[in-house]
Every structure is written in C-alpha cells, then in structure tokens.
Structure 1
Amino acid sequence: MQAYDLVIRNGHTVTHKEKIKQDIGIKDGKIAALGEVLEEGVREIDAEGKLILPGGIDAHCHIEQKSSTGLMTADDFYSGSVSAAFGGTTTLIPFAAQHRGQSLREVVDDYMACAAPKSVIDFGFHLIISDASDAIIGQELPAMIEDGITSFKIYMTYDNLKLDDYEILNVLAAARREQAMVMVHAENHDVIRWITEKLLDQGHGEPKYHAIAHASIAEKEATHRAISLAELLDTPLLIVHVSSESALNEIRRAQERGLKIYGETCPQYLFLTIDDLDKDGMEGAKFCCSPPPRNKENQDIIWEGLIDGSFSVFSSDHAPYRFDDTGKLSAGPNPTFKKIANGVPGLEIRMPLLFSEGVQTGRMDIHRFVDVTTTIPAKKYGLYPRKGAIAVGSDADLAIWDTEKQVTITADALHDNMDYTPYEGMVSNGWPTTVISRGRIVVEDEELKVERGSGIYLKRDRSEFAKPLERRVPEMDPKTNFNAKLF
C-alpha cells in the first residue's frame, strides 16, 4: 500500500516566508509530508522547473448574488468556482447578501442551497448587512458568527444598502463583542448623489462621468469617518476595494497610530484607469465599478500600498454583469452612468495578472504575492492554517505555476459566464497549470477534472485580526471620570 495518495516532486514550494525545493506528500486531502525522496504515491506529478504555491483565497467576490436593484450576477457557483480554479484560486468567500426585511438565517440558507450543489472548490460566506435592526444585530448576527460566518460587510452608499452612522456604531459594537471582522464599502453617499444630480442636469450621462460622480473625496471622507467610528469603539475594520491615494492615506495614518485598520485593493485599481471609462459609445460601461479606477499616477500609488504592506489583502471584487440587457445595459441600450450596473469581473485573472505584473517584473517579492493573495486572507477570515499554508496538516490546496507560460487574456479563453473581460488583450507571463484542492486535482492540462458540487462549505473561526486592542479614546479614559460602558 502506497504511503501517499499523491506526491508532487521536484518543485519549489513558495510560502509567505520561504522558497524550498522539496516534495509534497498528500494523504486524505491533507499535506502529510514535506521533504526529499518521499515514498511513492498512488499518483505522482513532476513539478521540475515549476513553483508550487498555496491555493489562492479570493475573499471578496459576488457570485449568484442579486444586487440591491434586483440584477442577478452572470456567474453562478459553478461557473464562478470553475473560473476561480483555472486562475489558481482554491477557496472562495463570496457574500450572502441580506436585503432589507430578510432574516440572516433565510439569506444563508438560500446561498447554501445555491453553492453546495455547484461549487467545485471550497467556499465560505461573508454576510452583507443592510438591515441593522435590533433583532438582526442583537440576535441573528451573533448566531451567524457562532455558526462560523465570522465576517460581514456594510455599506456607506447605495440607496438600498447604506447604513447611517448610528446604525454603523451599533454594528461595530456587535462586531467588537463577537470578535467578527467588519468590512466596509466607504464612499460618501450624499456627495455622490449631489454630483450625480448636477452632472445629469447638465446632460452629462456618458459612462466616463461615473468616475467624476464617484469623486475620490467621497471615498476619502467616508474612509476617514468609518475609521473614526471604529476608533470610538475600538473595533478592527477592513476598508475594501480602496481605489484612491487619499483613502489610502487615511488608512496609513490610522495604522501609524496603532489602530487595527486594514486595507484591501483589487485588480481594477492596478490594471485599469479612468481613461478606460472614456471609450467610444457605451464601451466605457464595461469598466464602471464603485469606487472607479483613477488616473495613472494614482494607480502607481495603489501599487505602492500593496507592496509596502498598507494593503493586506488583494481580492477580485468579482461582480460580473454581462454587456447586454441582463446586466450592464438592463436599463436600455444607452443608459446614463447612474443606471449602468456597477461592477467588473476578475476572478480568474486576479492572481495571474498580479504575478505577471508584480512578481515577474520584479516589482513585488513573490512572498508578498503569496501573502496578499492567500495567507493573509486565510488569517484575517479565520481559515489559517487549514488554508493559506504549505505545512503538514494543512489542506492540500496547491497551485503549480509555470513561470514560462504566456497567456493572452480574452473573454473567450476565460471560464466565467461573461461576454467580455475588461482585461482583453493583456498578456500574463506565468499561469497556474495544475490546481489542487484538498488533494483533488481540479485543473490539469487545461481541463476541469472534478464534478460540480465537490467543493465543501467552510465554517470559519474568529480571527485574531478582529480582536480589539482594548484601548480607550481620551473621552473614555477613566482618569477623566467618564467611564461609561458603551458596549
């Protein structure tokens, strides 16, 4: 009887800390041994000349999700998980989105019914909280966290999703008590609404004006306000899909003061610019997302933030709406920017483009690449070291990368259910050619090797990153004789 189900030989394993030439022995879905000259396995893979990285974790994606305006994303959990796998991702954490009036239990049950029969890789859920009633925050949310959904997202914009500051404080207090990770979409709703009205009144409805309406100052102000509210309650906070230098600077200032404020950015802010929204006709609609891409100078600064540690997570924010009447053009063939479905796809290209333009160009250290795409998301969202590691006892979630493989990105070549990609024609130098999830070969020889529904649901632990500092702001210092208990 062979010692291992699968042995990967002669490759270089790469983690967030080290690069070692060694073999990997896999048994019962786990990494059972690391070293040289391992015993034979039932199946053997020769990874000579290749890199073996932990399977990616995409911790921010919208799959089989109905938007607040009623539009369904183009990808369900089958096409979305397949696309992710072909790009080197082995774990997805999409959103179970609550719409106002819904119970969280109902929302999670609905998403589980969608995901479990379809996903080919492992998955968990974040919640989206749009109804912050006392019953939701005081009863349902703690129950969901106890059941392993230990993170959730709130919005400061969108008519049907946004919470006011009072509601945000209630949510932050609950997160602090329960040690849950809070993610926030930080844009000032009224600033965007005011600019939008002025633009439309003047007849400026083309897609390029979406970027004008979502001015960087709206992102900056909301980021500052979210950080201030979190500081009041000493609640850790993750600002998601950061697009602008000004918002990044708010995060950096908070971090310099020792606050547990984290940042995330996405492919659209590294590889697209505001000029993409200014294409002929409605072509610019393909690039409309919120916050929008900024200018080239800003793009370089976002790169710096990802490299220097200001951002700790790199996610796709995959929000796939087709370029037709089911998606981007649901309001008609020539909608104003206000009525264009918001979001861009990016599941499959997230890791390859960052590898190509970051690691292969020398701009980013490969260990930093592993950290932001895999290891830190696993730690922040309660999955480490089960996921995000190449270590004995960890799940055998691995991607074997061919650094010589060159791929021209086209919509036809990708595996999502989209009819376009905003990254059309870009070339990726390096691509994962074999992808393994819990010891199962999911992708090999450009073919899917597993059945729909073979991924499993991940109940997640609470994260140390979400643990409060137990610090007090000056107004709450006992020395001032104001020692009220606020949470």
Structure 2
Amino acid sequence: MYDLVVEGRIVGLERIFEAQIGIEDGVIKKIKKQGLEGENKITVKNGLIFPGFIDPHVHLREDSSHKWDYKEDFETGSKAAAHGGVTTVIDMPNNFLPSVTEERILEKIKLAKKSAVDVLFHGGVVKEYFNEIKKMAGHVVGYKVYLSETTGGLTIDKNDLEVAVSKLSETNLPSVFHTDETRQTLEELIGISNKLKIHVAHVSRSSSIDTLNTKVTYEVTPHHIMFDENNLKKNKFLTVNPTIGTKSDRLAILNALKAGKVFFLATDHAPHTIEDKENGAMGVPGLDIYGNIVSWLIGSLRLDPTYVAKLTSYNAAKLFNLKGRGEIKEGFIANISILKFEPEKVDSTNHFTKCGWSPYDGMTFPGKLIYTIYKDQVFLN
C-alpha cells in the first residue's frame, strides 16, 4: 500500500505511456501498468503527467536586508512556483545585497527554508569577490555572469572575463551568462566553451539563435515566446531585460523550439509592484502561469510532449546536476506536475506572487496545471 498512487498518461523522455506511479515517503517507489494500491489516488483524465517542472532562472528578491521583500519573498515566490507546477527553482544573485560571497549565499539558504518547493541558488561573479567563487561552490548549483547591465549592478568588464573563467573552471559548475546578445559577445562565449560549461540566459533575438545554433545551450522565456513589440506598444508593463523583440524575433524563437534547439524554458520571474513598474522597473512575473505556458507549447505550438518534458525539467536537471529530478523514474524524488487540457483564462487575483499583477491577465490558454506533487505534499490548483 503506497501513500499515493497517480495514474494516467505519463510523459517520458522518449514516449508517452499509460501507467501508475506508487509514491511513498516522497519518493517514486514503483511504476507499473496496473495493480498498485494507495491510501490516496489521483486519476488523470484528458491530461498529462510530467516530471516536476524546474525553473532555473528566477528572482525571488529576498535577502538578509529584506529591502525587496515587498516585491516577493521565498514563501510567496515558492507558492507561485507550486501554483505553476514548478517544484524546483534556481534563484539569481542580483539581490539588494548581491549573492557574491559564501556568507550571503548561506544567509539566503537559511531564509529559503520556509519555501513551499526546492529553492537552489546561483552565485554571483564580480571582480572584487573573485576569491569567493570557489568558496561558494559547495552551496550553489551554478554561477551567473553579467556581461551587460542588470538590476543589482553585478556587471563585469570583458577585460576581467579571462580571470573569471579561470576561477569558474576550477569549480566544474555551469556558468549562466547574461549578455548584450551581440554576435561578437556570443562568439566569444562559444570560443571559451571548451574551458567552461556555458549557458546563455534569456535569448531573445533571431540573430542570437542563428549565432548560437546548438554550439552552447540557451534558454528562452515565456514573455519572449508570447509577446513582440506590438504588444509592448499596448502594455507599458512589458518592459524587460532583454527587451521584447520584433515579430521576426518571436517567430525565430518559436521556430527554434519547433526544431528542438532550445535547451530549456526559464521564466526569468522578476516581480515588481505596479508602482515600481510605473516608475520603470524592468521585469515581469511568470511562475504562476508556468503550467499554462506548457499547455500552450503542446496545444498551440504543437510541440511533442516528450521534448517539452526535456525543455521544462530533464535538461535543467542534467545541466545543474540535480540528482533525483528531471524524470518520472523509480527511486527519483516524487516531484510531479499534472496538466489538464481544459481552457483557462488567466486571472492574477488568484496568483500567489506578491507583486499583484500579470502580463498574461485575460489571456486564455489551452490547458492548466491541476496538481503539483512535491515529495509528500499535493497542491491542488
């Protein structure tokens, strides 16, 4: 007798199959065609059972200063993640107090213990604290390198990149690069990819997709998938970094997804209050609607669900070495996201993010997240 049995169409890495999942003590103990008994049972009809979604690019705002807690904190941000089916997030370092030292990373780890899902961390890289890179290695899953301007002022000069790469390569951890998306910068990163595991954040331009191709991994965001400059003219809150592109840029991203070239989906969840947005703050929230976006990728863009499972879970788990995550597999953590293909209209008054609005308000998606299973907890959305 298992604690929980989930049955329905399971999305694997190569195929979709009908089966039951037996969960005990937050672990997937058995996957079987039929015959499993559980104290509780979830039967999924007209839906798909995915490995728990992983969002490797979020800004949950909270640090020991608590200066930006009014935008978001670990509790509200992680609940927004669970609402969207995301069972693991990786928090970025550009806080009010930037996470560029071991001490600051440890402070955030302590604060994140109240989270509803797993919150992991990227370490920040700045010249003044290059000596902290190796010290952070045991507490982070990767590093974030800013080669162009961002919130928090963590930009490093290209003249210091060689030293940074040398320090980063000693950790054997991946490095995520925020770039200006110029061909020169991207080609420089491709050139050093033999020394360092490089991943390019929030790619938003057709020229970037052409340059990167499959030479290094890259991510795309929901807002660059769903919007272009015509939407920006109508909605002043769609100010983000990198900016929303042209219709051609958006189509290039969609074509890259169709071709299977995008490594993973990352929300770049960057919550700001309405007042902050009116004053020009860059960024939009995205965690609450993650499941809706996944339904759009399958229901509207017609992506193969097995590729979507890689895009939303497996590839991030592989890049950041997140053991026990990324697949529905015996012995793995019972992190599971369940979608139902039933239209849903976005209403941010039902969201958990603290910022109180969404650029997707009023949009209707072909499906919705109905259950998030996180270890031994079940969230009914």
> TM-score scaled to structure 2, two decimals?
0.92
Q: For the residues of structure 2 that align with 1:170 and 1:82, how far apart are their CA atoms?
A: 39
Change (3 A) 1:71 1:276: farther
- Counterpart in the other structure of 1:322: 273
Shift of 1:101: 8.9
Residues 1:141 and 2:137 aligned together:
no
Q: For the residues of structure 2 that align with 1:353 and 1:412, how far apart are their CA atoms?
A: 18
Q: For the residues of structure 2 that align with 1:241 and 1:101, how far apart are their CA atoms?
A: 20
Shift of 1:310: 2.4
Shift of 1:221: 3.8
SS in 2 for 1:417: coil
Q: For the residues of structure 1 that align with 2:154 and 2:281, how far apart are their CA atoms?
A: 15
Q: Which moved more, 1:369-378 or 1:344-353?
A: 344-353
Q: For the residues of structure 2 that align with 1:120 and 1:424, how far apart are their CA atoms?
A: 24
- Counterpart in the other structure of 2:43: 46
Q: For the residues of structure 1 that align with 2:283 and 2:160, how far apart are their CA atoms?
A: 26
- Counterpart in the other structure of 2:157: 164
Aligned length: 376
SS in 1 for 2:277: coil
Shift of 1:99: 7.2
Q: 1:396, 1:438 within 8 Å by CA — same for their partners in 2? A: yes
Unmatched segments (≥5 aa) in structure 2 = none
- Counterpart in the other structure of 2:127: 132
- Counterpart in the other structure of 1:471: none
Residues 1:397 and 2:346 aligned together:
no
Q: For the residues of structure 2 that align with 1:157 and 1:376, how far apart are their CA atoms?
A: 26
SS in 1 for 2:366: strand
What amino acid maps onto 2:146 in structure 1?
A: Y
1:262 to 208, 212, 217: 217
Q: For the residues of structure 1 that align with 2:100 and 2:230, how far apart are their CA atoms?
A: 41
Q: For the residues of structure 2 that align with 1:99 and 1:65, how far apart are their CA atoms?
A: 8
Q: 1:25, 1:32 within 8 Å by CA — same for their partners in 2? A: yes
Q: For the residues of structure 1 that align with 2:253 and 2:294, how far apart are their CA atoms?
A: 13
- Which one has the largest radius of gyration? 1
Q: For the residues of structure 2 that align with 1:63 and 1:103, how far apart are their CA atoms?
A: 16
Q: Give CA-to-partner distance per residue, 1:300-359, whole Å, 9 cap, x none.
A: 1111112323220110000011111xx2234xxxxxxxxx21111111223322322x21
Change (3 A) 1:309 1:173: farther
Q: How do 1:75-86 residues align onto structure 2 when only pairs under 5 Å count? A: 75-86=72-83
Shift of 1:65: 4.4
SS in 2 for 1:163: coil
- Counterpart in the other structure of 2:4: 6
Q: 2:90, 2:121 within 8 Å by CA — same for their partners in 1? A: yes
Shift of 1:71: 5.5
Q: 1:352, 1:431 within 8 Å by CA — same for their partners in 2? A: yes
2:102 to 81, 105, 110: 105
Q: Which moved more, 1:237-246 or 1:293-302?
A: 293-302
SS in 2 for 1:22: strand
Q: For the residues of structure 2 that align with 1:168 and 1:310, how far apart are their CA atoms?
A: 27
- Counterpart in the other structure of 1:241: 202
Computed over aligned residues only, the root mean square deviation of the Cα atoms, in angstroms, reads 2.2
Q: 2:79, 2:353 within 8 Å by CA — same for their partners in 1? A: yes
What amino acid maps onto 1:293 in structure 2?
A: I
- Counterpart in the other structure of 1:425: 362
Q: 1:73, 1:320 within 8 Å by CA — same for their partners in 2? A: no
SS in 2 for 1:127: strand
- Counterpart in the other structure of 1:205: none
Q: 1:65, 1:95 within 8 Å by CA — same for their partners in 2? A: no
Q: For the residues of structure 1 that align with 2:197 and 2:233, how far apart are their CA atoms?
A: 37
- Counterpart in the other structure of 1:121: 117
SS in 1 for 2:338: strand
Residues 1:152 and 2:150 aligned together:
no
Q: Give CA-to-partner distance per residue, 1:224-246, whole Å, 9 cap, x none.
A: 33333x24x63221110000011
Q: Which moved more, 1:218-227 or 1:156-165?
A: 218-227
Q: For the residues of structure 1 that align with 2:318 and 2:99, how far apart are their CA atoms?
A: 30
- Counterpart in the other structure of 1:481: none
- Counterpart in the other structure of 1:306: 257
Change (3 A) 1:99 1:429: closer
Unmatched segments (≥5 aa) in structure 1 = 188-217, 331-339, 447-487
SS in 1 for 2:5: strand
Q: How do 1:463-478 residues align onto structure 2 when only pairs under 5 Å count? A: none
Q: 1:96, 1:111 within 8 Å by CA — same for their partners in 2? A: no
Q: For the residues of structure 1 that align with 2:57 and 2:99, how far apart are their CA atoms?
A: 22
